[in-house]
Structure 1
Amino acid sequence: MHNEEETIEQISSDYSNNKDSLTSQQVLIAGGGHVGLSFALLLAHHGIASTLLEKNSYPDISPDDDEQRSHYLDSRNTALSRRTVQIYQEIGLWDKLQSHACRIDAVQISEQGSFGRAQLSKEEEGVESFGQVMENAWLGRKLLLAAKASPLITLIDNADVTSVEQTQDSVSLAFYDQGDANVQQLQGCVLVACDGRDSTVRQLLDIGTKTYDYGQTAIVGVIETDKPHEHVAIERFSPAGPLAVLPLTDPEGDGNDEFQTGYRRSVVWVCPTGDETQYLEDDALFLATMQQAFGTRAGTFIKAGRRGAYPLTRVLADQQVAGRCVIMGNAAHTLHPVAGQGFNLCMRDAHALAQMMSAQVLKSADIGDAALLKRYEKARQTDQKRVILFCDAVVHGFTHSNPAIKLVRNVALLAFDKLPNIKPLVATYAMGLKS
């Protein structure tokens, strides 16, 4: 791992010294969600051209559009780790994002009806924050505007990929254009599939998956409390599943303003599959159930916005590289949201691949070289496996009803809170700073 860090530092140094010598090489990206757009912007930062295909229609937006929130309580949100924030800073995008980002200064962990609890604070760890929480709609809007503004990114929406073919020197795909009902062809040096859990490209490449149904459904939305969040993220475990409540910005102003009151919170409530309908349809029941599981740590839950339900299934691709094709994002690994690590892991994958491709361009080498892509796949295994194991350990460890196991995990929480050297290690991994 130390050698990998040295390699990335050297690539960054070479890029700074040779930026003017970069030449454009064509990358095809299937899937224009947050990961696909972010990867295209990372490539553009390194002078590498890409064409991005998205099956849905992109909204017609411009930088002059009204940027105020239209729905105070209706949004999904993403917790961005400290490392993800750094990546967006590297490509010059963070200044455009941060007005709707709310920093996390502390993390509290506890279990309903138990004595164990633990806390991480930015003061103890000597960091500016553990990360930021941002509305998905705002992040997507800014990523799309940045991609539209880049001369190195070509966006094609309403495009259904129908076939993928490879030769020794190139990869081509066919896609059905929903707009004019024609099938069109594209060719590039490499194809990166960021097209989600049910990835079409992955299936066309005949790459299998290992799946696991958690038997749980995540209810995601925004709530309002009568107590300010004070930039504290709270992870609470109940017999039904984990409950995460994260700080959000107010409707107006910067979420990093120390004087901001902050009564909005992002919530992820995990319940057994089959129970979700009642929580989606009945605001009073939803708020009362959360209040019972959560106690008074966040004050009183007084209002709930529109919510969405998402069945939780772990999906891991059997391989992430096939010839000149790379599987990335949820297409490579769809994880349980318990620790908020899924998107952040995808961003570290995207950053690593963009760095390696940049190094190839500096050498006038092939960015779709199969050996290069296999090195990427191998280099990312340690980080991916660690995050996957951690998420599953938390899910299974905190939903087990055996009294002995419950006692062990509560003692472990107390030990985590008191023993030296444990917190800094966990905090470093949570912030994505150790990959």
Structure 2
Amino acid sequence: MQNTDENSTSAGASQAITEQQVLIAGGGHVGLSFALLLAHHGIASTVLEKNSYPDLSPDDDKGRSHYLDSRNTALSRRTVQIYQEIGLWNELQSHACRIDAVKISEQGSFGQAQLNKAEEQVESFGQVMENAWLGRKLLLAAKQAPLITLIDNANVIAVEQQSDSVTLSFSYYEGEEHEQQLQASVLVACDGRDSTVRQLLNIDTTTYHYQQTAIVGVVETDRPHEHVAIERFSPAGPLAVLPLTDPEGDGNDEYQQGHRRSVVWVCPTGEEDKYLEDDAHFLATLQQAFGQRAGTFVQAGRRGAYPLTRVLANKQVEGRCVIMGNAAHTLHPVAGQGFNLCMRDAHVLAQMMSRQVLKGEDIGDPSLLKRYEKARLSDQKRVIRFCDAVVHGFTHPNPAVKLARNVALIAFDKLPNIKPLVANYAMGLKS
């Protein structure tokens, strides 16, 4: 069991302004980001992660170890702003690649549309970053934060709530199995789609299986990406090719000649093996689907397959416990909205807890947590509806529906005042 509590971080406050504590179950990207947001507001937290954290040092080699073998995340402008707010973006941006334009089309159809940063007068529509780099920098920042305690190899086994606190029991292995309890004002569960905490609290979920599997990986093309993201819809499902950084150098350099691209390829569940095992078949399939929009696909890295399921917690607050991240809402990856929605949730809850501290009140007050849940429902429902509408709308085989969506794409591209609304929505600036 690792218990880390080192000194100073650019993301943390200089000293605690409250003795109240937050327990965070799940130390992935959302859990660590939430802990850093709390630290920024002077609120201490303990993060429990079931997996083992790697040993990291700020002096470690920062080079990429897998040129074509990485998963990636599209960060919206709002998510970038949140990381800027806590002083972490300067550490992240060297491995981030701007999205300056988004091209949208449907395979075998006439409709197409484009968003351009110059027309929308924005710095970018977001950034694409390798998950490994994001995770490394979040973990380093958390390890250096005096208000964050990290405990890895910890398996949550029980949750008990009292009138003024919550107690979490967990087990860990050091030669033999041990059990330990921690108590805090509030527990926030960021422990993923199959959340243990959610199950212990007897919170049911509403689950929908898309009967699709996402093939995720990195490819290389002969043509530079020029910071353009390509969204393409096929009968099998939505597809995306996103720009990535060069193996070395800043992904936001105007002169970068990046040829690496992140790919999300959606296929019917049961057909994924042929895209995982045969590079030539995978590249040929991409070429057929995208044509020459991205140039010629010349190399593919190792790929992963992820069955797509929408999992929604039927409630996100139970007493002094909050369900957050994929534990609260696991979404289809279309338009890259899932992680960014989680970051907006985390940001709002951290702000509400900070205001509670400044008033000298309880950060785990169930009425406060219920207000958080209510405050976030509108944004969450809008994103969920949007994702499902895109998935079902662009896979519906009816010729009339196909005609309507292509006309809609052209209308979106040509009619004034529509693009800014959609652009702001995609950038996470309307919540």
Q: Which TM class, normalised by the smaller chain length?
A: over 0.9
Superposition deviation, residue 242 in structure 1? 1.1
Unaligned runs of 5+ residues in structure 2 are: 1-12
Q: Could you list the per-position Cα deviations for residues 344-401 of structure 1 after superposition, in whole angstroms to 9, with x for gaps in the alignment? A: 0000000000000000100110000000000000000000000000000000000111
Equivalent residues in 2 for 1:1-40, closer than 5 Å: 22-40=17-35
Aligned twin of 1:130: 125
2:103 is aligned with 1:112: no
Q: In structure 2, how many angstroms separate the alpha carbons of the residues matched to 1:227 and 1:258?
A: 16
How do residues 412-427 of structure 1 correspond to structure 2 at under 5 angstroms? 412-427=408-423
CA distance in 2, matches of 1:419, 1:387: 23
Give the Å deviation of 1:21: 8.5
1:25 is displaced (CA, Å) by 1.6
* Alignment partner of 1:78 is 2:73: yes
Structure 1 residues 286-337: Cα deviation after superposition (integer angstroms, max 9, x where no partner): 0001110111000000000000000000000000000000000000000000
**1:166: Cα distance to partner?**
0.1
**1:19 positional shift:** 9.2
The one-letter amino acid paired with 1:112 is Q
State the Cα deviation string for residues 70-90 of structure 1 (Å, max 9, x = none): 110000000000000000000
Q: 1:328 to 1:21 in 2, by over 3 A?
A: closer
Q: Which residue of structure 1 lines up, in the alignment, with residue 407 of structure 2? A: 411
Tell me if structure 2 keeps the 8 A contact 1:244–1:268: yes
- Contact 1:78 1:136 (8 Å CA) reproduced: yes
2:214 match: 218
**What corresponds to 2:10 in structure 1?**
none
2:243 match = 247
Q: Where does the alignment leave 5 or more consecutive residues of structure 1 unmatched?
A: 1-17
Q: Write the deviation string for residues 139-179 of structure 1: whole angstroms up to 9, x where unpaired.
A: 00000000000000000000000000001100001001133
Please provide the CA RMSD for this pair.
1.0
Instruction: Tell me which of 86, 89, 92 is aligned to 1:91.
Output: 86
Q: Which moved more, 1:229-238 or 1:178-187?
A: 178-187
1:334 and 2:330 correspond: yes
What residue in structure 2 maps to residue 348 of structure 1? 344
Structure number with the higher helix fraction is 1
In the alignment, is the contact (CA less than 8 A) between 1:160 and 1:178 conserved in 2?
Answer: no
The answer (yes or no) to whether the contact 1:236–1:243 under 8 Å persists in 2 is yes
- Asked whether the equivalents of residues 219 and 268 of structure 1 are also in contact (C-alpha less than 8 Å), the reply is yes
Between the aligned partners of 2:236 and 2:382, the Cα distance in structure 1 is: 25
8 Å contact kept, 2:16–2:147: no
Q: In structure 2, what residue type is equivalent to 1:159?
A: A
Q: Is 1:229 aligned with 2:228?
A: no
For residue 127 of structure 1, give the secondary structure of its aligned residue in structure 2: coil
AA paired with 1:77? N
What is the deviation of 1:241? 1.0
- From the superposition, tell whether residues 299 and 158 of structure 1 become closer, same or farther in structure 2 (CA, over 3 Å): same
* Aligned equivalents of 1:42, 1:125: Cα separation in 2: 30
Q: TM-score, normalised by structure 2?
A: 0.96
Number of residue pairs aligned between Structure 1 and Structure 2: 418
- Which of structure 1's runs of 4+ aligned residues deviate more than 3 A? 18-21
CA distance in 2 between counterparts of 1:238 and 1:66 reads 40
Matched, 1:139 2:134: yes
49, 54, 59: which one pairs with 1:59?
54
Q: Among all aligned residue pairs of Structure 1 and Structure 2, give the percentage whose two residues are the same amino acid.
A: 83
User: 1:300 — aligned with what?
Assistant: 296
**d(CA) in 2 for partners of 1:173, 1:21:** 22
Whether the aligned pair in 1 keeps the contact of 2:16 and 2:44 (CA below 8 Å) is no
